[in-house]
Structure 1
Amino acid sequence: MKADPKADAAAAPAAGGKSKLFIMIGAAVLVLGLGGGGGWYFLHGSGGAEAAEPAKKDHGSKKKGKKEAPPEYLAIEPFTVNLQPENGDQYLRVAFTLQVVGAEQAELIKANMAKVRSRVLLLLSGKKASEINTVEGKQQLAGEILAAVKTPFESHGDDQDVSDVLFTEFIIQ
């Protein structure tokens, strides 16, 4: 008995077509699975990282649970003060900018600028030129100004949220 070559030829493409169909379905399932997994990762995986990140920022902060505001810079009018005498009369002219956390803190400091200026003036007038002439002396002075500005304006009030003092002018004569 002889096999019909036409029947063999028709059976071969049908079997090949079924395997191609299974490969296409498998590829489609794989693409959908990868797409679904990627979508889940971006929705859930990166959300977990964002939730952990603010906890790192707030670690040690007084304002737990609040998102930190971007820094604001508040320029303070220059001060000219007589320094404590060492080698005759000397004076200091200094200007600085305060880095504060958020516009609310900037407004609070502006509203209490008379207290800020008084505190800084008293601090500066007690200094000697030799104490503040070096880089280390200027850094220490910046820390002292920072502490003076952070001190609450009202008794039992919260400290001002000031993070840095940036000198913009510093002249000793």
Structure 2
Amino acid sequence: MTGIGTVSEEKKPAPAPRKGKLKIILMGGLGALLLVGGGVGAGLYAAGAGLAGGHKAEPEDPNQPRLVPREGADQTAHAGGKKPRAIEEALDPGRYKASYYDLAQNFTSNLRDSDGFMQVSLGISTYYDQRVIDRVKAHEMAIRSAVLMTLADQDSFVISTPAGKKQLQKSLKNAINEVLVQKEGFGGVDDVYFTNFIIQ
């Protein structure tokens, strides 16, 4: 018999963990480990097979223009030249030498939804070798047509602003590069310059 006010309690043994729950936890951990290992393996395979940006270098085409490094500039990044850009890709201008070419004649075009017209003279620049300028000369008729179509699509109010002129330069560069891509498979014109600009 126990003392007054105390009730005897028998200690019950703690229930043994069920084997089913432990098995589920172990299987889940093993499954997660397999998923992580499989992901790492797939990533390594993709990198080795060229699927994740680690592709093998394409053989260089000797007919493609090459970037012309500036004298004294670091030439290791693009030794021998870089594959010509199709239309838009920025280059570090401090690293490459620019060549310039004036397109032969003025461009005169009516403006969109207006009685006005514009007359411009254009020059281009490239960081590539003489082959880009030679191809601009060879396809000057097609380039003139693309430039005139671009000019005819301009709004006189927009192109009278500095921002409008900058946008027009970008549109003309893209139009010229599109012609070169269609005719030669590459662009290569980096900038377009106005050497004369009249709106009436």
TM band (smaller chain): 0.5 to 0.7
Deviations 1:119-141 (A, max 9, x none): 00001011110121110000000
Report the AA paired with residue 143 of structure 1.
Answer: K
CA contact (8 A) 1:70 1:102 kept: no
Corresponding residue for residue 158 of structure 2: 131
> Residue 84 of structure 1 is aligned with which of 104, 108, 112?
112
CA contact (8 A) 2:159 2:168 kept: yes
Shift of 1:62: 2.0
CA contact (8 A) 2:142 2:179 kept: no
TM-score for the superposition, normalised by structure 1: 0.59
TM-score for the superposition, normalised by structure 2: 0.51
Count of aligned pairs: 117
Shift of 1:152: 4.6
Corresponding residue for residue 165 of structure 1: 192
Report the AA paired with residue 109 of structure 2.
Answer: V
Structure 2 stretches lacking a partner, 5+ long: 1-70, 85-94
Greater share of residues in strand: 1
Shift of 1:85: 2.7
1:111 to 1:140, Cα distance in 2 relative to 1, 3 A: same
RMSD: 2.9
Corresponding residue for residue 8 of structure 1: none
Greater share of residues in helix: 1
- Alignment of 1:108 with 2:131, yes or no, is no
1:164 to 1:153, Cα distance in 2 relative to 1, 3 A: closer
Corresponding residue for residue 125 of structure 2: 99
